A and B are shown apart, each in its own frame.
Chain A
Amino acid sequence: MKLQINTSNVVVALVAAGLVVLPLYSQLTGNIFILTLFTRIIIFALAAASLNLIMGYGGMMSFGHAAYLGIGGYAVGILAFEGIGSGFIQWPVALVASALYALVIGALSLRTRGVYFIMITLAFAQMAYYIASGMSRYGGDDGLTIYKRSNFGGLIDLSNRVQFYYLCLGCLFGGIYLIWRIINSRFGLVVQGIRSNEQRMQAIGYHANRYRLVCFVISGTICGLAGALLANNTDFISPAGMYWTRSGELMVMVVFGGMGSLFGPVIGTIFFLLLEELLSQFTEYWALIMGPLLLLIVLFARGGIMGLLGRFNRG
């Protein structure tokens, strides 16, 4: 990949730089709100980036990605509740649990295509939601308060706002770097080839579903990491956080930013959550505006923000 100077790359570089210096700004102005807001944005951006891996590059429209946020979060919450506070245990468990869930759900869902796939991922995520609601020991519907954030010894203090922010940012940049390596690797090219023409890829010797499934599991695992971060951020985990509208929002973030663009989900997430923040300061009924706006964006701005920037670039 050659680095070119064009509008979208400049915007991406500016946004990335802005995210890096944001705590400084927060410190100087004493604006703590912006730091907590952007911590949240960064965590969701990681989840959206993981969804983009399967949606944008793998062509798999998963409507159940919130389940991984929940699984990653509950892994942290349940272990903390049971007295295991070490992040070195909590986080690997969060990742492994997400991966296992993705493996089972993926193996089942990938037996179908298209709309079916959307419906089935949605239905299984709803099942995960009901299971979480049924866990009465861990708060059931009311959820579970996490009294102590994951403990990483002296390495990093998650209760420190700035440290936690940079941990999240590190995970986001790390996740995007990982996805960038993957999509340019042998495996990534195969996955993108299958999205483009499955029959052709089968005919030259690729077992399409095996690659799809591995991609699905990688994506779920990364999203499980976002779930662990999110639980630490809110100090709380509840079934509501894995309700199906959350999955829908993640899809919207990906599409807002531009599917199949590496940094697009980050831009899309910033846009979506800032807009939500802005609208909700305006009116309690922010979805009255967000809903139709979504419809309009789907109808008129298909490539998302990165697509618009790209067009600006060419034109």
Chain B
Amino acid sequence: MVLVEQSLNGLQFGLLLFLLAAGLTLVFGIMDFVNLAHGSLYMMGAYFAATFTAWTGSFILGVLLALGATLLLGIVLEFVALRHLYGRDHLDQVLATFGLILFFNDAVRLIWGPAGLALPLPAWLTVPVQIIPGVYYPAYRLSIIIVALAVAALLYVVVMRTRIGMLIRAGASNREMIGALGINIKLLFTLVFGLGAALAGLAGLMQAPILTVQIGMGENILILAFVIIVIGGIGSIRGAFLAAIFVGMIDTLGRAFLPDLLRTVLSSAAASTAAPALSSMLIYLLMAIVLVVRPEGLFPAAKR
């Protein structure tokens, strides 16, 4: 029973990671742009949701407003600062967006204060739902899974079936070509960046009721998103999806079961010392193994 619950937790965490990684991959794939501040957008999504929910008194309304606000923030960010960095080398992009992280963290501290915020759930989302006989699972976590799956499906349809999606795919494999097609690249880039920002914001605000909303929350998860991109293969949305689920599962199940597992081999004291360090290492070990076996990632995008 615990296994089912923890697996679902893993799936849920993996899907959140996917929302973040998908935005990163999209932006990197089409604009060749590394955005460290992607994690800041995740954080902003959570802060916006907490604030708007408190203002309006409605969780749903708060969430919708927060989504719109993150989208807008992403577009403004792209317009004011980031578009000047396209075509620069990756080091410049890393440093500039590192500067943005510093800025966002202190801006949040100034506006919301150093203490974290809580985003309380409405009553109807806190009830446990019986998923299979005898196994209950929190309604809110279940709804995260459903929403994230729906967004992933939507993303798939947009990228694979629509005109915009075609441009995105064309842009990812051949940047000059979309220019030659006479497409307004600047607008397309802004749109894609906004979409990525909204995905990050969505991930952040959905995670918010589970963990506290706090400064720096976007950074640790951003690094996990990097791990996912490395494992999945850069520029590949499908790879990002599979790797995200994989990483979410391993991380969650590792933290849940590794201590007990270790206790069967080691003394209890040694196990409880080693377990936390080892379980936080698991996904990095996974990344190391992937690098040794397939340095281009498990599901690389088609060769250019």
Contacts and interface: CB of A to CB of B under 8 A. Distances in A.
Given A285-B109, A291-B106, A119 B277 contact: no
B183 interface: no
A188 B103 CA distance: 38
Given A61-B94, A122-B223, A252-B95, A291 B103 contact: yes
A126 B96 contact: no
A6 B84 CA distance: 33
A146 B129 CA distance: 52
A290 B102 contact: yes
Contacts of A61: 90-91, 94
A251 to B, nearest CB: 6
Q: Considering residues B100, B220, B295, which has the most beta carbons from chain A within 10 angstroms of its beta carbon?
A: B295
Q: Considering residues B91, B105, B234, which has the most beta carbons from chain A within 10 angstroms of its beta carbon?
A: B91
A292 interface: yes
A10 interface: no
A136 B287 CA distance: 25
A220 B109 CA distance: 34
Given A126-B223, A294-B102, A137 B94 contact: no
Interface residues of A, number: 44
A116 B234 contact: yes
A298 B97 CA distance: 10
Interface stretch (A38-46, A107-115, A149-157, A172-180): A107-115
A195 interface: no
Q: Considering residues B81, B105, B106, which has the most beta carbons from chain A within 10 angstroms of its beta carbon?
A: B106
A122 B85 CA distance: 21
Interface in B240-297: 273, 276-278, 280-281, 284, 287-288, 291-292, 295
A118 B90 contact: yes
Interface residues of B, number: 44
Given A61-B91, A134-B277, A291 B227 contact: no
Interface of A: 55, 61, 63, 108-109, 111-112, 114-116, 118-120, 122-124, 126-127, 130-131, 133-137, 244-245, 248, 251-252, 255, 285-288, 290-295, 298-299, 302
Contacts of B278: 134
A70 B267 CA distance: 29
A255 B91 contact: yes
Interface string B209-247: 000000000011001001101100010000000000000
A124 B230 contact: no
B76 interface: no
6 contacts: A55-B91, A108-B291, A120-B230, A126-B284, A133-B277, A244-B219
A287 B291 contact: no
Given A287-B103, A291-B102, A131 B277 contact: yes
B154 interface: no
A119 B96 CA distance: 16
Contacts of B96: 294-295, 298-299
A290 B227 contact: no
A11 B109 CA distance: 38
A187 to B, nearest CB: 24
B295 A127 contact: no
Contacts of A255: 91, 95
A299 to B, nearest CB: 6
A294 B280 contact: no
B219 to A, nearest CB: 7
B283 to A, nearest CB: 9
Given A123-B230, A127-B280, A251-B95, A295 B81 contact: yes
A286 B28 CA distance: 30
Q: Considering residues A55, A118, A127, A302, which has the most beta carbons from chain B within 10 angstroms of its beta carbon?
A: A127
A103 to B, nearest CB: 13
A302 B234 CA distance: 27
B15 interface: no
Contacts of A63: 94
A63 B36 CA distance: 12
Q: Considering residues A126, A135, A255, A293, which has the most beta carbons from chain B within 10 angstroms of its beta carbon?
A: A126
B230 A287 contact: no
B54 interface: no
B301 to A, nearest CB: 13
Given A118-B90, A119-B229, A286-B106, A111 B295 contact: yes
B179 interface: no
Given A120-B230, A120-B291, A123-B284, A291 B100 contact: yes
B92 A292 contact: no
Nearest to B24: A119
B101 interface: yes
